[in-house]
Structure 1
Amino acid sequence: MSEIIATLKKDYIYNLMIKGKRQDGRGFKDFRDIKLETNVISKAEGSAKVTLGDTQILVGVKLQPGTPFQDSHDEGVIITNLELNPIASPEFEPGPPREEAIEMARVVDRGIRESGAIDIKKLCISIGESVWIIYIDVHVLNDDGNVIDAACLAAIAALMTTIVPNEQQGIGADVPLAMKEVPVGVTLAKIGSKLMVDPSLDEEAVCETKLTVVSSLDGSIAGMQKMGPVPFTEAEVLEAIDMACEKAAEIRELYLEELVKKE
């Protein structure tokens, strides 16, 4: 019986979308309500919690001195991890990170790296000997769809509030993490020939494929990731990029502008 109900629900959502409607009444370019909180973990150098609809993401940033890579002896190191906690969904299981978690962590990480969000040369403590290693830990507290966009937003907000500890044993003051960019990820789901932003969990269950676009302040693309077997046409990709950049600009203005002013 439960399988029949699930199938009927998927058919209902699919047919709504084909008619240009969504289950929760949103337009195809509308995000669910977003709530952003920063400095929510007292023992972290930076932290943020994002609630996107009923999806909840917590990000903590920790800094630790370490050895630089041989080919970048004067640059800090960024390590991003994402955990799909079992409390967030009955679909998530304890144990090593699943392929899905690794993929989402890479999307978050790529957007930060490729946009040049962090001035990694300012994380050098001693050339060739010691640099700051930035650990970005993303925890999914509740999954109601579109984890990637919430994770991207929480990660950049946590970084924008990160304080770099003084490395010289009390000489000098702690300083804000040097930031150069504000990348924002926007995911679009494809149903038939229609594209919509911020798919809910029910919409993800029926969509044929998804495309995440991470864009910088000037609209340049810092990362893209396609998920799902159905291809996009060239026209659909261009439309998706335009929609993603438009929504990213709105999100920055509404939720990140005050953090930029504080830097």
Structure 2
Amino acid sequence: MDSRLANTWRLTVNERKFIETALLSGIRIDGRNPYEYRKLSIKFGREDGSSEVQLGQTHVMGFVTCQLLQPYRDRPNEGTLAIFTEFSPMADPSFEPGRPGESAVELGRIIDRGLRESRAVDTESLCVLAGKLVWAIRVDLHILDNGGNLVDAANIAALAALLTFRRPECSLGGEDSQEVILHPPEEREPLPLIVHHLPIAVTFGFFSSESIMVIDPTHHEEAVMAGRMTATLNANGDVCAIQKPGGEGVLQSVIMQCLRLASRTAGDITKKINDAVEAYKTERASSKIKRHPASIALEGIGSGGNVKGKQNLSLNLRV
């Protein structure tokens, strides 16, 4: 991915020189050191499968939905996972409304490659009826504010939404056991997706002056950098994908350094995602208990605890 994912900020010559001079001194204009990530905030909506991620000034929302479709012929026992991105003109003046542009498609492909090629989501568990019906999972990513490094923010939003999404439980019935019965959430608790690991995308920016490298570039840095590379790793240090488009060439030693930094960063981000998801699940369970208080009513209890006459016993408790 090149400057197509960077916004069209028109920096003056003095602004460009100021950014590059500061980087030569090991200082970034936002006060971070070259290998420091911006502040990350992860929130969730009221419905399962919705997330809101803020990375510095970059703001992304993610939504996960599902529907029953026919599987691909070459994979009759596997469900599908698709990533779609939407760039709002309010996020950046260079984003045009309407059909997704090249930058939106490329952003979706980078996130999709990290998720699918590493088989992070168990697609076999999405099979309902082999060769006939499987769950198709769709992740929609909405860019609300482009403050730089859209890839990492959108990737985190997609993972957080997938971890909190729940699909309806279904069973097979009918005379030939080929009829799919969808159970509403009031009848059966929806099921979460099976996610084996979290592929975390970590983006690096490269500058022509003395091979300067930074992690998590801002929109100002994207406007002057000469190239970028996105490494997708999980908390175990396994490399899931690497994206290096055109631009300045990168030495092998620099790539290995990026992978070491990305591995450490992936572990930190994974912990933040898991902590946010656990807090969301705890709050969700607590709200369900409040909505469905336990109530027990017994009538006609005689002496010695014997039940006489009419008895009404009801217990309504969902966790």
Measure how far apart 1:91 and its partner are: 1.1
Which of the pair has more CA radius of gyration? 2
Deviates more, 1:14-23 or 1:59-68: 14-23
Name the amino acid aligned to 2:244. K
Partner of 1:131: 134
| 2:47 paired with 1:31 | no
* Partner of residue 193 from structure 2, selected from 153, 163, 177: 177
Distance in 2 of aligned mates of 1:4 and 1:255: 35
The answer to which structure, 1 or 2, has the higher relative contact order (CA under 8 A, 6+ apart) is 1
Distance in 1 of aligned mates of 2:249 and 2:137: 36
Name the amino acid aligned to 2:200. V
What SS does structure 2 have at the residue aligned with 1:75?
coil
Deviation string 1:179-201 (CA, Å, 9 cap, x unpaired) is 11111111011123122111000
| 2:16 paired with 1:10 | yes
Partner of 1:206: 224
2:233–2:240: 8 Å Cα contact kept in structure 1?
A: yes
Distance in 1 of aligned mates of 2:276 and 2:263: 20
Deviates more, 1:164-173 or 1:17-26: 164-173
What SS does structure 1 have at the residue aligned with 2:16?
helix
What SS does structure 1 have at the residue aligned with 2:38?
coil
Name the amino acid aligned to 2:57. D
* Partner of residue 122 from structure 2, selected from 119, 122, 128: 119
Name the amino acid aligned to 1:250. D
Partner of 2:58: 55
Distance in 1 of aligned mates of 2:231 and 2:59: 20
Distance in 1 of aligned mates of 2:92 and 2:239: 31
What SS does structure 2 have at the residue aligned with 1:243?
helix
Partner of 1:187: 203
Distance in 1 of aligned mates of 2:11 and 2:254: 32
RMSD over aligned Cα atoms: 1.9
What SS does structure 2 have at the residue aligned with 1:227?
coil
Deviation string 1:155-214 (CA, Å, 9 cap, x unpaired) is 011100010112323274311111111111110111231221110000111111110011
What SS does structure 2 have at the residue aligned with 1:88?
coil
Measure how far apart 1:29 and its partner are: 1.3
What SS does structure 2 have at the residue aligned with 1:141?
strand
Measure how far apart 1:57 and its partner are: 0.3
Distance in 2 of aligned mates of 1:227 and 1:49: 28
What SS does structure 2 have at the residue aligned with 1:173?
coil
Partner of 2:236: 218
2:147–2:219: 8 Å Cα contact kept in structure 1?
A: yes
Measure how far apart 1:5 and its partner are: 5.9
Partner of 2:307: none
Distance in 2 of aligned mates of 1:37 and 1:172: 26
Pairs aligned (count): 258
Deviation string 1:40-86 (CA, Å, 9 cap, x unpaired) is 163xx511110011100001000010010001000001111111111
Gaps spanning 5+ residues in structure 1: where? none
Distance in 2 of aligned mates of 1:34 and 1:173: 31
* Partner of residue 259 from structure 1, selected from 277, 282, 298: 277
Measure how far apart 1:217 and its partner are: 2.7
Deviation string 1:127-158 (CA, Å, 9 cap, x unpaired) is 00000000011110000100000001110111
- The within-5 A match list for 1:84-163 is 84-163=87-166
Identity %: 32
What SS does structure 1 have at the residue aligned with 2:12?
helix
Query: Would you identify which runs of 4 or more consecutive aligned residues in structure 1 move more than 4 Å?
Result: 260-263
Measure how far apart 1:227 and its partner are: 3.4
What SS does structure 1 have at the residue aligned with 2:90?
helix
2:168–2:182: 8 Å Cα contact kept in structure 1?
A: no
Deviates more, 1:112-121 or 1:150-159: 112-121
Partner of 1:237: 255
Distance in 1 of aligned mates of 2:85 and 2:188: 34
Name the amino acid aligned to 1:245. S
Name the amino acid aligned to 2:193. L
Rate the CA distance shift 1:70–1:246 in 2: closer, same or farther, 3 A: same
1:60–1:138: 8 Å Cα contact kept in structure 2?
A: yes
